[in-house]
Amino acid sequence: MKILYGTTNNGKLQAMKNVLKDFDIELIGLNDLEGELPKIREDGKTPLENAEIKARAYFKAFGIPVFSCDSGLYFEELIEEEQPGLHVRRVGGKELTDEDMIEYYATLAGKHGGKITGRYRNAIYFILDEKHHYSSMDMSIATEPFVLVEKPHEKRVKGFPLDSLSVDIATGKYYYDLEVKDVSTSVDDGVRVFFTGALGGR
């Protein structure tokens, strides 16, 4: 069975191929298709709503089984109105630079005793055919929790500003000071369980 992963990011496509390598499917991405891609307005209020918007648009355009994913950042200590959610880089209508983000989230951590505990909540929406839709924003596909602290690490990697504030819960070390850190294993397991249920005996 050929399934479309609704992404133009080849890195994400390859990562998902690795996760689903034991399934009897051929996974393709949007770059593998001919024709114009639909213009999509991702105006959902949650990662799951955005994943559904994208999956429905691609299914309508190409008519093959398709799934889309989205994610948002959520912290245990914050009330709903304060959650970054889908808008990790946009605050008060302003698009933050990397350094702006470090300053903003460090200040946020400072307001809560110097650290806040968060995780990325991931969502997936899969359309097998007109009658069979499957979705999840279950904790089994969320990343493991991590801590953002008030004092940033001196290291910076362009495009990943929050990594400078991220601390591993188990060791208390900055992620940048760990030799190896792979937070995707639990997410991968959850994705495999999701597709096992959705595809059943197919």
CATH 3.90.950.10 fits 2-199, yes or no: yes
CA 85 to chain centre: 11
Set 22, 24, 43, 70: catalytic member: 70
Q: 108: closest CA among 79, 139, 142?
A: 79
Model pLDDT, residue 184 = 57
For the chain, give the mean pLDDT. 92
Give tens-digit pLDDT for 139-159: 999 988 999 999 999 999 888
Q: How confident is the model at residue 181 (pLDDT cuts 50, 70, 90)?
A: low
CB 44 within 8 A of CB 53: yes
Query: CA–CA separation, 197 vs 186, rounded Å?
Result: 17
User: Per the structure block, which two tokens stand in for 197?
Assistant: 């249920």
Buried b (16+ CB within 10 A) or exposed e, 131-145: eeeebbbeeebbbee
Give bridge partners of residue 101 from the DSSP assignment: none
Residue 96: how many other CB atoms lie within 10 Å: 18
CB 107 within 8 A of CB 67: no
Query: CA–CA separation, 52 vs 58, rounded Å?
Result: 10
Model pLDDT, residue 183 = 55
Q: Which residues contact 126 (CB under 8 A, 6 or more apart)?
A: 55, 65, 66, 67, 133, 134, 135, 194, 195, 198
CA 7 to chain centre: 12
Which phi and psi angles does 137 have, rounded to 5°?
A: -130, 35
Q: Identify which has the larger pLDDT, 28 or 90.
A: 28
Residue spans per domain, the chain: 2-199
pLDDT at 32 over 90: yes
- Alpha helices by DSSP H, listed for 71-149, are 98-110
Q: Any catalytic annotation for residue 70?
A: yes
Please tell me what DSSP assigns to residue 169: T
